[in-house]
């Protein structure tokens, strides 16, 4: 018994699943290559020509229902495969025509015969003219225009990629999107650039196909005449009749699908993504203005009444437009009548004054001008509410506690595009945005200027320009970071929340932290509060951490340190220092930039001794002039370290850490002051500067 040959596992699994989509593309390519060398019977030619026409129509219909080009990302590959299919069919048909063309019009199959007889009426002079017109339309008009659009789109897409990437990074940093959404958007940008680049190249295949069709037609004509006259003994007129009709039928049956594919390519590259397919866009935008339809109907009706003009055609089209206008007007009246009429409100009796009429002050509030109401109205497509939820989520993930909800209300006292952010009724930030424009922020490396209204990014103080929506791609190509008004307000809110984190932590938030911790460590919370430390003293320790930008996410470690020390130490500042030492690895990790080397500055030895003396009971304190010089030098040190791409860090002795942190908080707010015990043993310290007065 002969041993059976085992199939490869991948092929066995594919056949077992019977997934024809896996083998469809390889079979199509193999079939195309086979048609170049294997003679085909006329029945097979008819089926393949029909399949070619059907495939081109399917592709055209798919493009008509696209809402964005990337929904048909395989279109460039489809253009290549359909072009190769048409060329291989031309080769197969040419073989049959040259071998059996002496037998008459049906020698190459019924499809070619039908196009030679029915489409052009059996007149090869008409056939050559029609074929030449189709080639001109395809080659000169459609393919050339689609190729130009694809080339320009590819160029602008590549130029705009850096700006789009920066916009994604800005949304990610502001908490408006997560890592998965950022990866999806970056992948979509790369796919968009690849798609238009591929379309630019694929258009060359279609143009080459048109040229090849012309050459194949003349080769079939000349070769058929030579073979018919010299080899089969036909007269010149009979050979010209047979081979010309067959060659023209073959050219037309291949050129029409090519024209359909070219139209599909033009639709794809010229489509503007609006969330609707091409048909809905055309109908909605062509017949949106009623007065346009009325004017067109009136002009056509007037022309139709002029003596000598084709009255029936013009008056018929004018009546059709009038009917469309009447239907639109009728539908508008029906919709207006269906809207519920607001009943007049009954006169309300005056209410007695009570405690419920005293509204409490909101922890966080956002007042907006009347032009910004659309940003918070979901019915009008406003995204500000969703952005604010994203800001609160990112803040909770970064600093470890959830802030109160932001109360949004309109305020007629503000400018139409103005907004104001308040904390417990006190304004902490304000700005102005334009809801119908975009803010182009200059990160410092732009390659040109933009026309628009000059402004300033309210969150970070960077120079910016308010531009129209149409200039987005141009601004991104020049290196600007382009954000919408909702993102401007949300980013400003996030920056203010971080700056006022300590004030946002109240008793209610501390109770929420303890409740959350008790779900994982109930015994720890039970032993800590209120046995060893009160809620107010715990809140003071947590506020001290937040004042210097230290996250309280690791609440378990904080609680464990306080449980060990709260019984012996009553001072909240000393408790904070011990908590900071326990969180040292977490604090330093955020300042090392992912490495194990901490770049930091240290105090000048003389200044350090002077400051240590001022902390003693008998110290005379710092002389005012010396203190001012110290503040100026600290500010310059912070700016110098940030200019080198480093975090501004100052290392000092433990007794001086709190003094310097509070002294330098206003002049150098981003300068992080660490004590030597807070630096983990495994972290290498690189001294980059010295701070002296």
My answer on whether 241 and 302 are in the same domain is: no
Q: List the CATH number of the domain containing 458.
A: 3.40.30.60
Q: Report how far residue 264's alpha carbon sits from residue 202's, in angstroms, rounded to the nearest whole number.
A: 12
In a domain, 27, yes or no: no
In a domain, 187, yes or no: no
How many domains, the chain? 5
My answer on whether 575 and 601 are in the same domain is: no
In a domain, 487, yes or no: yes
What single string gives the DSSP state of each residue in 506-546? -HHHHHHHHHHHHTT-HHHHHHHTTTTS-HHHHHHHHHHHH
* CA 597 to chain CA centroid, nearest Å: 36
> How many other β-carbons are positioned within 10 Å of the β-carbon of residue 510?
19
In a domain, 100, yes or no: yes
pLDDT at 328: 78
Of residues 307, 320, 409, the one with CA closest to residue 368: 409
pLDDT at 342: 46
What backbone torsions phi and psi does residue 331 show, to the nearest 5 degrees?
-65, -40
The secondary structure of residue 138, as a DSSP letter, is: I
pLDDT at 110: 73
pLDDT at 487: 93
pLDDT at 2: 44
My answer on whether 474 and 562 are in the same domain is: no
My answer on whether 523 and 381 are in the same domain is: no
pLDDT at 481: 92
In a domain, 177, yes or no: no
My answer on whether 633 and 597 are in the same domain is: yes
Collect the ranges in the chain with pLDDT lower than 70. Answer: 1-22, 24, 101-109, 116-124, 154, 173-175, 271-282, 284-288, 338-354, 356-357, 593-595, 616-621, 693
My answer on whether 534 and 653 are in the same domain is: no
Q: Which domain holds residue 78?
A: 35-147+196-272
My answer on whether 598 and 578 are in the same domain is: no
My answer on whether 253 and 400 are in the same domain is: no
> How many other β-carbons are positioned within 10 Å of the β-carbon of residue 42?
18
My answer on whether 100 and 218 are in the same domain is: yes
pLDDT at 642: 85
Q: Report how far residue 494's alpha carbon sits from residue 491's, in angstroms, rounded to the nearest whole number.
A: 5
Q: Report how far residue 505's alpha carbon sits from residue 517's, in angstroms, rounded to the nearest whole number.
A: 16
In a domain, 334, yes or no: no
Last residue of a domain, one of 208, 238, 272: 272
Q: Is the peptide bond before 185 cis (omega within 30 degrees of 0)?
A: no
My answer on whether 571 and 433 are in the same domain is: no
> How many other β-carbons are positioned within 10 Å of the β-carbon of residue 639?
13
Q: Report how far residue 634's alpha carbon sits from residue 603's, in angstroms, rounded to the nearest whole number.
A: 10
pLDDT at 466: 94
My answer on whether 368 and 472 are in the same domain is: yes
In a domain, 588, yes or no: no
Q: Report how far residue 632's alpha carbon sits from residue 626's, in angstroms, rounded to the nearest whole number.
A: 10
My answer on whether 259 and 317 are in the same domain is: no
pLDDT tens per residue, range 262-319: 788 777 777 665 556 666 666 766 666 777 778 887 887 887 788 877 778 878 888 8
In a domain, 507, yes or no: no
Q: List the CATH number of the domain containing 687.
A: 3.40.50.12790
């Amino acid at each position: 018994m002969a041993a059976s040959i085992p199939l490869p596992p991948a092929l066995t699994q594919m056949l077992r699943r019977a997934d024809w989509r896996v083998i469809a593309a390889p079979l199509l390519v193999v079939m195309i290559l086979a048609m170049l060398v294997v003679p085909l019977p006329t029945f097979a030619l008819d089926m393949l020509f029909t399949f070619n026409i059907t495939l081109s129509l399917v592709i055209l219909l798919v493009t008509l229902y696209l809402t964005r080009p990337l929904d048909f990302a395989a279109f460039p590959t489809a253009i290549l495969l359909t072009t190769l299919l048409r060329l291989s069919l031309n080769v197969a048909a040419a073989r049959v025509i040259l071998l059996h063309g002496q037998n008459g019009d049906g020698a190459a199959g019924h499809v070619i015969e039908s196009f030679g007889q029915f489409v052009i009426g059996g007149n090869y002079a008409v056939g050559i003219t029609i074929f030449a017109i189709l080639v001109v339309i395809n080659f000169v008009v459609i393919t050339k225009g689609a190729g130009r659009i694809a080339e320009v789109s590819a160029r602008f897409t590549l130029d705009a990629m850096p700006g789009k990437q920066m916009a994604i990074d800005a949304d990610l940093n502001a908490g408006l999107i997560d890592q998965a959404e950022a990866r999806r958007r970056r992948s979509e940008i790369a796919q968009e650039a690849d798609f238009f680049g591929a379309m630019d190249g694929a258009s060359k295949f279609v143009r080459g196909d048109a040229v090849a069709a012309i050459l194949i037609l003349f080769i079939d004509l000349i070769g058929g005449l030579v073979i018919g006259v010299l080899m089969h003994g036909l007269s010149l007129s009979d050979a010209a009749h047979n081979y010309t009709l067959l060659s023209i039928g073959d050219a037309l049956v291949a050129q029409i699908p090519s024209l359909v594919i070219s139209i599909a390519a033009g639709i794809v590259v010229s489509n503007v993504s609006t969330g609707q397919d091409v048909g809905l866009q055309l109908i909605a935008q062509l017949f949106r203005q009623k007065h346009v339809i009325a004017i067109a109907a009136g002009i056509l009706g007037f022309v139709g009444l002029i003596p000598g003009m084709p009255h029936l055609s013009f008056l018929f089209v004018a009546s059709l437009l009038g009917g469309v206008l009447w239907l639109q007007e009728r539908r508008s009246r029906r919709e207006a009548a269906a809207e519920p009429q607001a009943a007049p409100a009954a006169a309300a009796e005056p209410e007695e004054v009570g405690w419920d009429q005293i509204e409490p002050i909101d922890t966080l509030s956002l007042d907006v001008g009347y032009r910004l109401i659309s940003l918070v109205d979901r019915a009008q497509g406003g995204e500000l509410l969703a952005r604010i939820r994203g800001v609160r989520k990112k803040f909770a993930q970064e600093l470890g506690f959830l802030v109160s909800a932001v109360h949004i209300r309109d305020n007629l006292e503000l400018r139409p595009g103005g907004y104001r952010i308040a904390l417990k009724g006190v304004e902490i930030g304000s700005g102005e945005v334009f809801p119908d424009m975009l803010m182009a922020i200059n990160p410092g490396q732009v390659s040109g200027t933009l026309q628009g209204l000059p402004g300033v990014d309210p969150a970070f103080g960077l120079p910016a320009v308010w531009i129209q929506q149409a200039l987005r791609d141009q601004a991104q190509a020049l290196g600007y970071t382009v954000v919408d008004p909702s993102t401007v307000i949300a980013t400003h809110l996030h920056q203010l929340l971080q700056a006022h984190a300590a004030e946002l932590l109240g008793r209610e938030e501390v109770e929420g932290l303890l409740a959350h911790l008790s779900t994982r460590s109930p015994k720890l919370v039970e032993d800590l509060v209120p046995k060893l430390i009160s809620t107010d003293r715990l809140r003071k320790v947590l506020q001290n951490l937040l004042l210097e930008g230290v996250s309280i996410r690791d609440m378990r470690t904080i609680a464990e340190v306080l449980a060990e020390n709260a019984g012996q130490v009553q001072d909240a500042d000393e408790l904070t220092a011990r908590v900071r030492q326990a969180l040292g690895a977490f604090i330093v990790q955020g300042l090392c930039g992912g490495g194990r080397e901490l770049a930091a500055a240290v105090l000048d030895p003389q200044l350090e001794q002077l400051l240590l003396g001022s902390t003693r009971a008998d110290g005379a304190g710092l002389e005012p002039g010396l203190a001012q010089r110290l503040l100026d030098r600290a500010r310059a040190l912070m700016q110098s370290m940030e200019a080198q791409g480093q975090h501004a860090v100052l290392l000092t002795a433990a007794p001086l850490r709190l003094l310097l942190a509070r002294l330098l908080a206003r002049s150098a707010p981003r300068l992080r002051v660490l004590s030597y015990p807070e630096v983990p043993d495994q972290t290498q310290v690189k001294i980059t500067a010295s701070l002296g007065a």
